[in-house]
């Protein structure tokens, strides 16, 4: 039987080969704080909302994330659906009087339940009308669509454009906005150039250290509870303007999400900028920055430990944190003064002078000197500090005189 010659390739076949080559790309492990913050929130099983201008790669990032995590991706364009698509379609059975009217879920929800895992991507969220946003509330918080409940293996990520650049955009309703971790998605020039060359950063779930889990939970609880105990007005603060209510703001729900994110970031050893994006994206910039400042103080050494071993004390590098430690040491001596503790405090100040900026010891040294009792001899350490204190005071007087002349 004669062999049939293969049909010659058409121009569309050749075009398909060219498209395949253009779409061929690889990934590499590369630091990317945006991607790390996204994967950390996904690992914490919290709904994430990516905010960014059109065309900067939000959808592409989610596609690559699903592929990297080996999760089936289900994309739902929120703005083209009806409220019943998320709350369920009523289906009349044989005897509604006794069996009721069940709410049938859409096909994409059934597929997710059958798979038992997946990444649900709610795109164009800011163009969904208020009625659809209301229907999404139960899906985002309780993972329910009609009579179905999404399995624990399903993660929810949404994307939205700012109202100024969205097609007929709406502000998010406060109840829906408060259910998300809001992350600002921007393009990085170097990442885009390298990606167009065929290599994109790889999305991986954070590596959690099992030995740090109890410590991470304790740290997160102390951080959040300590701040809210000192600042009770931050427990719930609904913004007064419409745009603010459509973003991150503090509530008991969002503080609970923040607590989880701090625990995950601590167990994963995440960088400070990653934690900052997550915290500020959950409770807002103001409360988030206050919490980040309080986290710094949680890491400070105990003043009593510093007084017990001045020579072995490890003082922070950052000036504001070092100042806080020195002030804490002086305050501890003031609260329980005795000769030995007073001498130890001077040794701490000398160590601070030797390892950091001299001006940081001026105020603590002046305060500590005022605590001296008549029968306490002046320690030799004061001589090493006298020069720094005198120099600082001369500089202050010179600055005041210069200002007066001007």
Mean of pLDDT values over 286-311: 85
The residue that leads in pLDDT, 151 or 357, is 151
Could you give the 3-state DSSP secondary structure of residue 162? coil
Question: Which pLDDT score, from 0 to 100, does residue 395 have?
Answer: 41
Query: Does some domain include residue 269?
Result: yes
Which domain covers residue 121, as residue numbers?
27-90+102-201
Whether 404 shows a pLDDT value over 70: the answer reads no
Query: Does some domain include residue 331?
Result: yes
Question: Which pLDDT score, from 0 to 100, does residue 392 have?
Answer: 46
Mean of pLDDT values over 352-377: 82
Same structural domain for residues 36 and 164?
yes
Query: Does some domain include residue 22?
Result: no
Q: 17-21, 52-56, 93-97, 317-321: which has the minimum mean pLDDT?
A: 93-97
CB-based burial label for 183 (10 Å; 0-12, 13-18, 19+) = buried
Same structural domain for residues 288 and 343?
no
Pairing type for strands 144-145 and 148-149 reads antiparallel
Query: Distance between CA atoms of 390 and 213, rounded to whole angstroms?
Result: 49
pLDDT band at 121 (very low <50, low <70, confident <90, very high): very high
pLDDT band at 396 (very low <50, low <70, confident <90, very high): very low
The number of folded domains in the chain is 3
Task: Please enumerate, as own/partner, the contacts of 241-247 that have beta carbons within 8 Å and a separation of 24 or more.
Answer: 242/171, 243/163, 243/171, 244/284, 245/171, 245/172, 245/173, 245/174, 245/177, 246/171, 246/172, 246/173, 246/174, 246/177, 247/172, 247/177, 247/182, 247/284
CA distances from 169 to 57, 95, 130, 181, 271 (A): 19, 43, 11, 20, 34
Q: What is the pLDDT of residues 302-340, one digit of tens each?
A: 888 888 888 888 888 878 778 888 888 888 889 888 888
CA distances from 349 to 61, 310, 368, 379, 406 (A): 50, 9, 10, 12, 35
Percent of the chain whose pLDDT exceeds 90 = 32
> 193, 290 in Cβ contact below 8 A?
no
Query: Distance between CA atoms of 129 and 14, rounded to whole angstroms?
Result: 43
Radius of gyration of the chain (CA): 30
Whether 381 shows a pLDDT value over 70: the answer reads no
For the ranges 12-26, 91-105, 195-209, 273-287, the maximum mean pLDDT occurs at 273-287
Question: Which pLDDT score, from 0 to 100, does residue 48 have?
Answer: 96
Whether 386 shows a pLDDT value over 70: the answer reads no
Same structural domain for residues 69 and 187?
yes
Query: Distance between CA atoms of 347 and 332, rounded to whole angstroms?
Result: 14
pLDDT band at 25 (very low <50, low <70, confident <90, very high): confident
How far is C-alpha 202 from the chain's CA centre? 19
The token pair at 343 is 């001498």
Same structural domain for residues 51 and 173?
yes
Percent of the chain whose pLDDT exceeds 70 = 88
Backbone φ and ψ of 351, nearest 5°: -65, -40
Q: 3-17, 42-56, 332-346: which has the minimum mean pLDDT?
A: 3-17
Same structural domain for residues 194 and 318?
no
Same structural domain for residues 263 and 140?
no
Question: Which pLDDT score, from 0 to 100, does residue 142 have?
Answer: 87
Helices (H), 44-116: 58-68, 84-87, 96-99, 107-115
> 366, 389 in Cβ contact below 8 A?
yes
Mean of pLDDT values over 172-181: 93
Same structural domain for residues 250 and 337?
no
Residue from 355, 331, 333, 234 nearest 288 by CA = 234
> 52, 186 in Cβ contact below 8 A?
yes
Question: Which pLDDT score, from 0 to 100, does residue 261 have?
Answer: 96
Query: Distance between CA atoms of 135 and 297, rounded to whole angstroms?
Result: 42
- Which residue among 249, 271, 298 closes a domain? 298
Query: Does some domain include residue 19?
Result: no
Same structural domain for residues 157 and 265?
no
The token pair at 183 is 């992350």
Q: What is the DSSP letter of 116?
A: S
Whether 133 shows a pLDDT value over 50: the answer reads yes
Question: Which pLDDT score, from 0 to 100, does residue 360 have?
Answer: 83
Query: Does some domain include residue 325?
Result: yes
Same structural domain for residues 44 and 86?
yes
CB-based burial label for 212 (10 Å; 0-12, 13-18, 19+) = middle
- Which residue among 201, 234, 251 closes a domain? 201
Query: Distance between CA atoms of 177 and 66, rounded to whole angstroms?
Result: 23
Beta-bridge partners for 160: 51
Query: Does some domain include residue 79?
Result: yes
Same structural domain for residues 136 and 36?
yes
Question: Which pLDDT score, from 0 to 100, does residue 3 have?
Answer: 64
- Which residue among 275, 298, 321 closes a domain? 298
Query: Does some domain include residue 128?
Result: yes
Backbone φ and ψ of 81, nearest 5°: -110, 155
Whether 402 shows a pLDDT value over 60: the answer reads no
pLDDT band at 274 (very low <50, low <70, confident <90, very high): very high
pTM of the model as a whole? 0.75
Query: Does some domain include residue 8?
Result: no
Work out the mean pLDDT of the chain and round it to a whole number: 84
Question: Which pLDDT score, from 0 to 100, does residue 286 have?
Answer: 92
Same structural domain for residues 368 and 351?
yes
Largest CA distance in the chain: 118
> 330, 345 in Cβ contact below 8 A?
yes
CATH of the domain at 166: 3.40.50.300
Same structural domain for residues 144 and 288?
no
Query: Distance between CA atoms of 193 and 222, rounded to whole angstroms?
Result: 43
Q: What is the DSSP letter of 149?
A: E
């Amino acid at each position: 039987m004669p062999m049939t010659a293969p049909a010659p390739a058409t121009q569309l076949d050749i075009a398909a080969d060219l498209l395949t080559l253009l779409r061929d790309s690889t990934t590499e492990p590369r630091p990317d704080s945006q991607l790390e913050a996204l994967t950390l929130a996904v690992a914490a099983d919290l709904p994430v909302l990516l905010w960014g201008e059109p065309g900067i790669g939000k959808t592409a990032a989610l596609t690559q994330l699903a592929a990297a995590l080996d999760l089936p991706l289900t994309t739902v364009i929120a703005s083209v659906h009806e409220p019943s698509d998320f709350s369920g379609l009523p289906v009349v059975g044989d005897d509604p009087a006794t069996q009721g009217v069940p709410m049938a879920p859409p096909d994409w929800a059934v597929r997710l339940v059958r798979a038992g895992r997946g990444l649900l991507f709610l795109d164009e969220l800011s163009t969904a009308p208020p009625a659809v946003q209301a229907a999404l509330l139960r899906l985002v918080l309780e993972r329910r669509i009609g009579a179905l409940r999404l399995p624990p293996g399903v993660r929810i990520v949404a994307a939205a454009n700012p109202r100024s650049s969205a097609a007929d955009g709406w502000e998010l309703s406060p109840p829906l906005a408060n259910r998300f971790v809001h992350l600002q998605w921007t393009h990085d020039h170097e990442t885009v150039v390298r990606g167009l060359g065929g290599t994109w950063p790889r999305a991986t779930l954070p590596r959690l250290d099992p030995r740090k889990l109890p410590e991470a939970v304790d740290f997160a609880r102390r951080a959040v509870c300590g701040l809210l105990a000192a600042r009770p007005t931050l427990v719930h603060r609904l913004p007064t303007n419409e745009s603010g209510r459509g973003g991150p703001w503090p509530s008991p729900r969002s503080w609970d999400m923040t607590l989880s994110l701090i625990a995950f970031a601590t167990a994963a050893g995440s960088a400070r900028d990653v934690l900052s994006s997550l915290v500020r994206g959950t409770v807002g910039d103001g409360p988030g920055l206050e919490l980040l400042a309080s986290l710094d103080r949680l890491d400070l050494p105990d003043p009593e430990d510093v007084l017990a071993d001045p020579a072995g004390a490890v003082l922070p590098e950052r000036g504001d944190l070092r100042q806080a430690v020195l002030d804490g040491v002086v305050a501890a001596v003031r609260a329980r003064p005795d000769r030995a503790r007073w001498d130890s405090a001077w040794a701490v100040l000398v160590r601070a002078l030797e390892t950091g900026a001299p001006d940081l010891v001026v105020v603590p040294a002046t305060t500590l000197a005022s605590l001296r009792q008549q029968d306490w001899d002046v320690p030799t350490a004061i001589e090493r500090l006298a020069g720094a204190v005198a120099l600082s005071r001369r500089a202050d007087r010179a600055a005041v005189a210069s200002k007066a002349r001007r």
